[in-house]
Structure 1
């Protein structure tokens, strides 16, 4: 047994006091802190928040040697029990880091729990010390002594811990117990007061996930939802028997905000099948120390992102118009990202997640595409292609679940190709081409199958191929589109826009009325404190968005196919 004790009794210090107790099996001991947490593919170097490391054996203090920035080596005088103490700064409020203050505590245990070499598959016992009036919400079996028991280190690290004076709400899905815990820093349970059917709606979405997977009950024996309702924010992280969500109150005030919350619930809940149990082979087992290439992330996240918009509709909580609107928003975002056309293929996006997706910069739209977004668009195409063969994407997902996921076997790319081509033989060639290529599938033709069409919406002003914003009172260039007029004229990020044809520019809205399409104009800028004038020629107004509409010329057969598609029913 490895005992992990976490002391949160001084939340105002934002420090978690950690104690690790165990009896060593060898006299040479190695310790490591994970570098990342599963589900979020970025090396986070959690060790940067660790301080005051102290190791004792009995009354003797032992001095470890650093083997690398996140690892230590220790030679022991005996095999007597060890105590390791250290503090971890908890000041980062995301679903994959730790945060502790006077209102609540959230712990991602990958950032807190040292891995003891040789003890990965040993049971780990978790104990907590909390401020008065707080309670803990932990998706692990609770023991009679008030501790929680993880079967091994992997289950421990897969355990998000929420603490605070919150209330817990219980409901069931197909007889499986579920818990809902919401931290609202301003008004506890205000979300339930504003949306009194929330728990019933969440349960309906969960049941829709089960139906999508062809299952009578969830994959997890019990489930915990933790929601951080913040002023602003959006995100989630899946676990085997739980998920952590962040959502913004400002978004909830919008007409589509509540639907977006249910879509986030659907996304993370569906992950208990697709990702957690139906897992890429590269993550079997997980290497907590370094990045691994996961070519199938487009399937893990893209398919889940595609279905998260359909699941509230399947649960009876959104309309056909809602789905078309939300899908149109994603299609518009996708079609306006130039990086899809040559910067990065979908396979490359999956393989380069560690160094690109979570490290966006000003030029990211020109050289990359999100495997979430393009994966969802490809999932739409695959679903509609499969329907031409009398099948659907849900059936492929169920096939993979029955053959691999149910037994915890990781999948490789050839498993995905076999599953798709078994339902639609033509995908044996098309799918690899879509994964490796930069040319879009014939989206208009596929959408026409279900009576939908895309309509471009052009900007009202000529196109300079740049974006600007006020930075410290200066009108600064924050994006230069690759190959656009601004780049051809020589503008770069950080340039301050002063004037166009001698007329002063003070805010972004000043630029559009002065632009003359296809005419050379003089733009005055300040670059690193020196004024200069460049010649720039604006292009025709660019497409600024796309609308997805029901095609008025579509016949009843297309309408029938659309209803089958939205109902996740094979054609």
Structure 2
């Protein structure tokens, strides 16, 4: 096959945590360049995967070829284009267990292939064949078709690195969604959990199928967008997250969370989020990601739509699938609205800025980030809620807009820009583009309370009983230290910063976090003894009156018939 790139991954020595890679280029250039991607689509951070690569060699006709590094992630090999295939070999250390990196031990292997496979210059759009050498008794699960030899075939480099690999002695569970084959693979970090999980949730696979069906209904589609889909779940003691791909998703979830019904519901929401992404993001894609630049960050103003709209729907989808209750949904939505309203950074960073700065802020958050930024997932979901309820005032819905964009862009592989989004919303409701533009560029909050009143709900604050300092404390090596200081807070005015050790307040010794509010008096300046680096200092801390500690969604008393009808239609994602 002309232009074929063959990739072999050798996992046969898992205790070394090294995956040995052999990459054969059938038609090399005279000065062949190869490079390792710096990031994985869907996770917007340059991760410099090359730091895990070692032992790079290039051989042609049995002779080692001269290699020159042109940048940290790129090599140039001098070779003879007429002398046959060029074979590259190297190893990748696989010790980081996340959905976007690689992990290999005696129990399993997982590989996000952007961190493993080199891109061959000039052959990004050439076919790639993948084989794996596995320990005895292991299986490999890859969301790619196979040939007669059992090798996996990708039509392009992009398709190959969009195909994560899970390997180990575990099995897959097949099921169908509207005639489309799906597989589910779970790696239990504690094998004993497999029996516990099956006993605790005997309808799990039926529930997953219902979530997938709910996604199809929301998109107005008779079938999933993928023709063969793979779920991979890493069930660890703790953890949460997922990464979407065209024909698969990889999920991480904490087993301890599954001991409660709310924790199980959160898992279904995670599944819904990532599965919905195989439309919104993977196929209905911001134009800045067509094609992907694997070594450069792109400014993507519409990430709020890609992630925020998906986050809004992921809580609704288990409800529309019949797997949760309206009360569950109100509780979960109330938690998100609480997080939003208690994030002071929402008054500093706009939603568009949050999207554009994803590469340098969201994935690099620190103890001060809450004061200066807001997640495009979180505020994007809040704006999506307001958009949906505004559209419903005019006999439309957010799902109708997503379906329209799917028909005009996603189905045809056309990337969308922010202007396309504004046009789609304006096409449903005159003037909505202007309102959306304001929500994207202003730091003022949308009128959530007004929209929620349409569906018979009120957002009620729950006040703290303690005076407010704007700081969070915790124990570190047995010492009470400041973990967060909010901007414009009493703690900031007093001169505190993250890392300060707190020793005494108002003449009383401080030993643990709960000691602080015990000695506070709102509106009264109190002496605070603290240590920073090697010096002791006394500051004056004057706390403010108690503030809301959370918000809850509550039904309004005596809802009108119109409110009841609007709520029912909204919760079932119907119009009218």
Q: Distance in 1 between matches of 2:245 and 2:496?
A: 46
Instruction: Choose the corresponding residue for 1:428, options 433, 443, 465.
Output: 433
- What residue in structure 2 maps to residue 214 of structure 1? 220
Q: 1:353 aligns with which of 358, 364, 371?
A: 358
1:76 to 74, 79, 95: 79
Which among 488, 495, 502 is matched to residue 497 of structure 1?
502
Deviates more, 1:280-289 or 1:251-260: 251-260
Q: 2:94·2:103 contact (CA, 8 Å) conserved in 1?
A: yes
Following TM superposition, by how much is the alpha carbon of 1:520 offset from its aligned partner in structure 2, in angstroms?
1.1
Report the Cα distance in structure 1 between the residues aligned to 2:181 and 2:284, rounded to whole angstroms: 22
Q: 1:134 to 1:325 in 2, by over 3 A?
A: same
Please say if 1:31 is aligned against 2:34: yes
> What is the deviation of 1:254?
2.4
Instruction: Name the counterpart of 1:88.
Output: 92
Give 1:131's aligned residue.
135
Runs (4+) of structure 1 moved beyond 6 Å?
A: none
Q: Describe the superposition over 1:431-480 as per-residue Cα deviations: whole angstroms up to 9, x where unpaired.
A: 11100100011111100000000111111111111111011111001111
Alignment-derived partner of residue 340 in structure 2: 334
Tell me if 1:301 matches 2:307.
Answer: yes
How far apart are 1:250 and its partner, in Å?
1.0
CA-CA distance at 1:25 after TM superposition: 4.1
Mapping of residues 21-170 of structure 1, within 5 Å: 21-79=24-82, 80-170=84-174
User: Please, what TM-score do these two structures have when normalized by structure 2?
Assistant: 0.98
Counterparts of 1:362-381 in structure 2, within 5 Å, are 362-381=367-386
Q: What SS does the aligned partner of 1:376 have?
A: helix
- Aligned pairs (5 A) from 1:182-197: 182-187=186-191, 189-190=194-195, 191-197=197-203
Kept after mapping to 1: 8 A contact 2:472/2:482: yes
Distance 1:262 1:11 in 2: 32
Per-residue CA deviations over 1:231-253 (Å, capped at 9, x if unaligned) read 00000001111100000011111
Q: Which runs of 5+ in 1 are unaligned?
A: none
C-alpha deviation, 1:157, in angstroms: 0.7
* Candidates 178, 183, 190, aligned match of 2:182: 178
* Paired residue total: 570
Note if 1:527 corresponds to 2:532: yes
Deviations 1:352-401 (A, max 9, x none): 00001111100010011000011001000000000111100000000000
Query: Could you tell me how far 1:502 is from its partner in structure 2?
Result: 1.3
Aligned counterparts, 1:366-405, within 5 A: 366-405=371-410
The CA deviation at 1:163 is 0.2
Name the SS of the counterpart of 1:547 in structure 2: strand
Q: Structure 2: 5+ residue runs without aligned partners?
A: none
Cα RMSD, aligned residues only: 0.9
Superposition map of 1:553-568 within 5 A:
553-568=558-573
Whether 1:260 and 2:288 are equivalent positions in the alignment is no
Structure 2 counterpart of 1:201: 207
Q: What secondary structure, in the 3-state scheme, does the structure 2 residue paired with 1:508 have? A: coil
What CA distance in whole angstroms lies between the structure 2 residues aligned with 1:101 and 1:446? 51
Aligned to 2:281: 275
Number of the residue aligned with 1:325: 331
Q: Distance in 1 between matches of 2:66 and 2:511?
A: 60
Cα deviations across residues 162-197 of structure 1 (Å, max 9, x unaligned)?
Answer: 000101111100011110100002126332232110
Tell me the distance in 2 between the aligned counterparts of 1:285 and 1:294: 13
Q: Distance in 2 between matches of 1:34 and 1:200?
A: 37
SS at match of 2:424: helix
Cα offset, 1:78, TM superposition: 4.3
Alpha-carbon distance in 2 for matches of 1:284, 1:71: 22
